[in-house]
Chain A
Amino acid sequence: MSTRLQNGGRLIDRAKPLSFTFNGKPVQGYEGDTLASALLGQNRMMVGRSFKYHRPRGLVASGAEEPNGLVGLGEGARFEPNQRLTTTELFGGAVTQSQNHWPSLEFDVGAINDRLARFLPAGFYYKTFMYPRAAWKHVFEPIIRRSAGLGKVPQGRDADRYEYAYAFADLVIVGGGIAGLCAALAAGRQGKRVWLIEQTAHWGGRAVVDGAEIDGKDAETWVRETLQALEGMENVTLRTRTMASGLYDHGYLLAYERVADHTPGDGRPRHRLWRLRAGQVVTATGAIERTLSFAGNDIPGVMLASAVRDYVVNWAVSPGDRTVIVTNNDDAYRTALALLDAGLIVPAVIDARPEARGELPGAVRARGVRVLEGHGVARVKGGKRVTGVSTCIQAGEGAELETIACDAVAMSGGWSPVVHLWSHCGGKLIWDEGGAMFRPDPSRPATGADGAAMVTAIGAANGVLDAAGVLADAHKAAGGKGKAPQATAKPETPVLPVWIMPQGAGPALRAKMWLDPQNDVKVSDVQLAAREGYESVEHTKRYTTLGMATDQGKISNINGLAVLSDALHRPIPETGTTTFRPPYTPISLGAIAGEARGEVFQPLRKTPMHDWHAANGAHWEPVGLWRRVYCYRRPGEGTHDAVNREIRQVRNSVGLLDASTLGKILVSGPDAGRFLDMLYTNMMSTLKIGKCRYGLMCSENGFLSDDGVVVRLNEDTWLCHTTTGGAERIHGWMEDWLQCEWWDWKVYTANVTEQYAQVAIAGPNARKLLEKLGGMDLSKETLAFMEWREGTLGGCRARVHRISFSGELSFEVAVPASEGRAFWEALMAAGEEFAVAPYGTEAMHIMRAEKGFIMIGDETDGTVIPQDLNLEWAISRKKDDYLGKRAQQRSYMASPDRWKLVGLETLDGSVIPDGAYVVADGVNANGQRNVQGRVTSTYYSPTLNKGIAMGLVKHGPDRMGEVVEFPVGDGKVVKARIVDQVFYDKQGEKQNV
C-alpha cells in the first residue's frame, strides 16, 4: 500500500496537519503537501478514469507532466474542473472530486468501453456511425459527447479576480533548479536586470531530491545559499509559483503566477498573468522522464521512477511497500536507493540493457537487490492496483519467466528535455542519438526582433543531465565570470532506447501498452495509424489523439513518435515532433481575461451629462465605447411609448438631445481648406466664416464612410463634425493622409470630441427656450439657418450652430465639457414652461427619417456610394480630385443599374420589417430569388401615424408611384409604394423660421 513514512519529507511540516475531502471522504495531509502526495500518503492511488475506455487511473508523476491525477476542486463559484493533483498545493478544507465516471470512481458504467476496447481502436469513429444519416446528430454524437469530456461544468460567475502585470528584464530565466539558480547568480553579478521564475513553490528542482553535491556542500545547502545571494541583489527578481506559459515573438514571455490557488478566498487575485519583455530568455526548464511501453503500464501503481523518489524524499510518502524498478538507464537506480534508504522493499530492478554495470547499479546490487539485465516486463498484473509483474527477455516476444509480487512499479524510459519554450517561437530541435532525446539545436534558435537568437537552453533542458555539466552549461550561458560551481554526482552509463518492451511483443501485448494514459492511446493505435497511411506525426497525433490530452503528451509524445518511426522504418529525426504550442501547462481563462468583466468589461465613455441621464430613466444603447440614451422611460412607460412621446414633444414644443458624442475635429493651417477639399466630396475651402455645411466623406475605394456638419471657425480653421462612431477613425484617417501622402501640406488636426458638451435644442419653442437663458441674439436675422455664432448662453461659453437633423427649428450648442452638466440643467429648468424633455437616439433616428435624411450605418453599409443616395448635390463638380472620386468612376460604380434611394410607403400603413428586400421576378443562376432593392430605414412615424421607410431600389427614382413587394417570411408579402423620401415638411419651413 501507499503510506506516509515515519520520517523525512523535506517539504512537509508535520506540525501543521491539514484536512480535506476526496469524493466526500476526509483525508489528512500536511502543509507542504500537494493534493497528490496527501492522497498517496493515505493509500489513495487510483484517482480517476481515463477518457475513452474509462479505465482506472492512478498517479504517474509528481509534477506538471501528470496525465491522470485530475480532479474537480472547490465548490460553487470557486469550482474548477481538471485541476492537476500534482501541481496543486494542499490547503485546509479543500474539496476534491474525481472525474469522468458514473456512478462512482470504483464502479463506473462507462468502463464497458474497456470491455469493447478491441472494437474501438484509433479512429474507429471515422469508419462507422454513418447510417442512418440523422443518427450521428441524434444518437451517436450525444452518447460520445456524454462519455467524453472530463471534468464537470463550472456554474455561474467566477468568485475570484485576476490581474494583469507587466515587467521588463534583460534576462528572464525560466526554472528554479540548480541550472536556473546558477545562471541567475552569474547574470545578477553582472548587474543585469534578471527575472528568475519557478513554477512550483520551491527552489532547487531535481538536484535537491537526487542528492548532488555542489562546491562541497549538499545541494540543499547550495540552493539555500544561492537564494540568499540572489535575494540580496536589487537587480534580481525571484518568483515562485510562476510558470512560463508561452514565449511569443520579440521576447514577449507570458508567465502565470498562481498567487492564491493555495489560499482561496483570501482577497488576493487568484492568478496574475505577467507579460515580461525579455532581452533574452534562458530556459532552465529541466527534463521530463518518459514512461516505458509494456503491457499493463497503465494500471494504478505504475509510476515514473523519478516521481516515486520525489514522493519519498519530498513528502515522505511511499507509493508502495514493494516497488519493482523497470528501466533502460542508470538514473532509475537512484529511486531504488531512495526506497531502500526509506526502509522499503525493492524486489528487483528490471533493466532492459544487456548490461548494467555502472556505479549506480553497483550501489543497488551492493544493497542486495536483484538486477535483471536484458529483461523487460511482460505484463503488469492487477486491476485497480498493481499486484505484480511478470518478467521476460527484452529481446524476446514476451514469454513470461517469473512473476514478482509488488504493489508499485517505478519505470524510467529515459529523459526528454523540456523544449516547449525553446520551440514556441520557432526554435528547432536535433535528435541526440546518445541520449535518445530531442534537444535544442543551438544553431537554429528562435530569433528576436534583431534577427539574433533570443532563447538559450541550459542544463537538462539543453540535454545535459548530470549536475556537473548542468552547472557548467548554466554558468557559461549566463556569461559567468570565473569558475562555475562544481558538482559531484555518481557517473552514469548510457541509456538504451527502448520503445517497446519486450522488443518482439505481438499484437495482443501491444494492445495493452499505453502511450497516452489519459486519452487511451496505445502502441497498437500508433501502429494502426502508420499502417493506414497516417504517416506524418501530425496525422498520427490527430488520428489517434496521442498527446492531445490535458498533459499535451509530456510523458508520451517521444515514445509515440518513436513507435511511429519504427512502424514506418524511418529514423526518428525524420518523423520529427508535433508543434509545441503555448501554454506549457494549462492556464485559466480567467487569468487571460483579467479584470475586464461586468461594468468594466471595456472602458466606458461618458458625456458630461451621463449621470443626469442615468438618474432620469435612461434606457441605454451601446455605441462604440459610449452608451447613448435610446429613450428616457417614465415610470410605467414602455420603450415604444417613450420614443413616440419624445418625438411629439420635439415636434410640438421643444426637446433636448445630448449630442456630445458626435465627433469634433479641428482642422487648421494654411492648407486646411485644400486638405478638406480632398477629404470631403464637397467644396469646403469656399465655406464662409460663420457658416456651416453638410459634408460627405468617402473611402479611397469610393464608399461613403462618414458625414457631418463642417463649420468654418476662421480663415485657417474648420471644425469637422463626424458621426459618434467615426470620430477616432476619421481623425486617424486625416492624419494618415497628412503624414503619409501630403506631408508637405501645412495642416494641423486635433480631435476635440471630449472637450465639448453638445446639446441639440429642437422644436418650435427652441429659440424661446434659449432666449430665456439669455446672453445671445439668436434671431433669424442674426443667426440664419446653417450659420453659427459664439457667445454666452445662460452664463456658459457657447458656440451655437443653427443646424437641424430633426427638421424642426433647431440649435446645436457646444459648451466646454466642464460646463455641460450645468448648461443641460439650466435648459431643463428654463424649459419647464414648454414642458421641455430630453429625447434619445431612437427619436432622433425617426425624426431624421421623417425628413428623409440619411444615416451613416443605415442608408450606408460600406457598399453604398453617395450617388446611390442621390447626394450628387453634395459632390463638387469643380474639383479634379477627392478621396474616392477615382473609385466611383469604375464601371460597376458608374452603372445606371445601381440601387438608388427612395421613400417607401406601405399600402396599408404598416411598418416594413427591418432589412426586408424588394423581390424581382425569377431566380438567378444559383437558384436564388432575384431581388431589386431593400429597405434601409423603416419606422412607425408618430407624426404621420403610419409606417414610413427609405430604401435602395433599382432605378428607384425613375419609378415613383410604382408598388413593390417585400416578402417578410411565412409567405407574407408587404406591398409598398415608391415615393419621395421626404415625408415631413417637404419645403423645410419648420427648420427655417
Chain B
Amino acid sequence: MLTLECPYCGVKADETELAPGGEAHLKRHGPGSTDEEFDGYLFARKNPKGVHFERWRHAYGCGKWFLAARCTATLEVFGTYPAQSTKPPVDLQARIKLKRPGWEGYK
C-alpha cells in the first residue's frame, strides 16, 4: 500500500487515490519510426529489479500526472517530480546514487 507525495498538490497520497501508468520518460515514436523503435516504445518496457522511474496519476486527487523514482525490490520511494520532465532531476539522481551505490544510473 504505497504512499506517494504528489508534487503538484503536495498531498501524501494513498495508493487508492492514485492510478499507476507504467514506465516514465518514454520517447514517443510515431509515423516514420522503424518497427524496432515502435516496438521498443510500446512494449519493451524497462522492468528492473531495483530503481525504476514510473508514471502515476493523482486520479482521485488533483488529477495530475507525476513521476516517481521507486525501488521495485523494496518499494522505497526516492522522490516524485512533475510529469513535465524529460529526465529525472539531477539532485534526485544523486540522492538515489547515494542510497544505491551499485545503481548504474539513469539511461
Which A residues are closer than 8 A to B by beta carbons?
A: 248-252, 277, 426, 447-451, 700-701, 732, 735-736, 739-741, 743, 880-881, 885-887, 889-890
Complex formed: what's the CA distance from A451 to B69 in Å?
13
Contacts of B33 in A (CB 8 A): 886
Report yes or no: A736 in contact with B21, Cβ–Cβ below 8 A.
Answer: yes
Report yes or no: A449 in contact with B83, Cβ–Cβ below 8 A.
Answer: no
Complex formed: what's the CA distance from A217 to B71 in Å?
50
* Distance from B5 Cβ to chain A, minimum over Cβ atoms (Å): 9
Chain B residue nearest to A168 in the complex (CB) = B12
Report yes or no: A732 in contact with B57, Cβ–Cβ below 8 A.
Answer: yes
Complex formed: what's the CA distance from A700 to B33 in Å?
14
Chain B residue nearest to A254 in the complex (CB) = B1
Complex formed: what's the CA distance from A701 to B30 in Å?
11
Complex formed: what's the CA distance from A135 to B42 in Å?
50
Contacts of B19 in A (CB 8 A): 732
Report yes or no: A449 in contact with B76, Cβ–Cβ below 8 A.
Answer: yes
Report yes or no: A890 in contact with B65, Cβ–Cβ below 8 A.
Answer: no
Report yes or no: A889 in contact with B31, Cβ–Cβ below 8 A.
Answer: yes
Report yes or no: B64 in contact with A739, Cβ–Cβ below 8 A.
Answer: yes
Instruction: Beyond the given A448-B76, A451-B99, A743-B84, please list 10 additional residue pairs across the A-B interface where CB-CB is below 8 A.
Output: A248-B1, A277-B3, A277-B14, A450-B77, A451-B74, A700-B42, A735-B63, A739-B84, A886-B32, A890-B35
* Distance from B87 Cβ to chain A, minimum over Cβ atoms (Å): 14
Report yes or no: B14 in contact with A249, Cβ–Cβ below 8 A.
Answer: no
Chain B contact residues (Cβ within 8 angstroms of A): what range? 20 to 34
Report yes or no: B29 in contact with A886, Cβ–Cβ below 8 A.
Answer: yes
Report yes or no: A887 in contact with B38, Cβ–Cβ below 8 A.
Answer: yes
Complex formed: what's the CA distance from A887 to B75 in Å?
34
13 A-B contacts, Cβ less than 8 Å apart?
Answer: A249-B2, A249-B75, A250-B2, A277-B14, A447-B76, A449-B75, A449-B76, A449-B77, A735-B63, A739-B64, A740-B65, A881-B30, A885-B31
Report yes or no: B38 in contact with A886, Cβ–Cβ below 8 A.
Answer: yes
Question: A743-B83, A890-B35 are known contacts. Are A450 and B64 too (CB-CB below 8 A)?
Answer: no
Contacts of B76 in A (CB 8 A): 447-451
Complex formed: what's the CA distance from A881 to B30 in Å?
7
Does B49 sit within 8 A of A, measured CB to CB? Answer: no
Does B59 sit within 8 A of A, measured CB to CB? Answer: yes
Contacts of A251 in B (CB 8 A): 3
Binary contact readout B1-43 vs A (1 if CB under 8 angstroms, 0 otherwise): 1111000000000100001010000001111110100100010
Binary contact readout B70-89 vs A (1 if CB under 8 angstroms, 0 otherwise): 01001111000001100000
Does B52 sit within 8 A of A, measured CB to CB? Answer: no
Contacts of B75 in A (CB 8 A): 249-250, 449
Which of these, B2, B4, B65, contacts A736 with CB under 8 Å? B65
Contacts of B29 in A (CB 8 A): 886
Complex formed: what's the CA distance from A512 to B71 in Å?
49
Chain B residue nearest to A166 in the complex (CB) = B14
* Distance from A234 Cβ to chain B, minimum over Cβ atoms (Å): 23
Contacts of B57 in A (CB 8 A): 732, 735-736
Chain B residue nearest to A250 in the complex (CB) = B3
Report yes or no: A741 in contact with B28, Cβ–Cβ below 8 A.
Answer: yes
Contacts of A886 in B (CB 8 A): 29-33, 38
Contacts of B63 in A (CB 8 A): 735
Chain A residue nearest to B29 in the complex (CB) = A886
* Distance from A681 Cβ to chain B, minimum over Cβ atoms (Å): 13
**Of listed B19, B59, B83, residue having the most chain A CB within 10 A:** B83
Chain B residue nearest to A742 in the complex (CB) = B28
Report yes or no: B83 in contact with A885, Cβ–Cβ below 8 A.
Answer: no
Chain A residue nearest to B38 in the complex (CB) = A886
Report yes or no: B1 in contact with A252, Cβ–Cβ below 8 A.
Answer: yes
**Of listed A249, A277, A449, A741, residue having the most chain B CB within 10 A:** A449
Complex formed: what's the CA distance from A397 to B30 in Å?
79
Complex formed: what's the CA distance from A689 to B63 in Å?
30
Question: A449-B2, A887-B42 are known contacts. Are A735 and B65 too (CB-CB below 8 A)?
Answer: yes
Complex formed: what's the CA distance from A159 to B99 in Å?
52
Chain A residue nearest to B75 in the complex (CB) = A249
Report yes or no: B83 in contact with A740, Cβ–Cβ below 8 A.
Answer: yes
**Of listed A448, A450, A451, A880, residue having the most chain B CB within 10 A:** A451
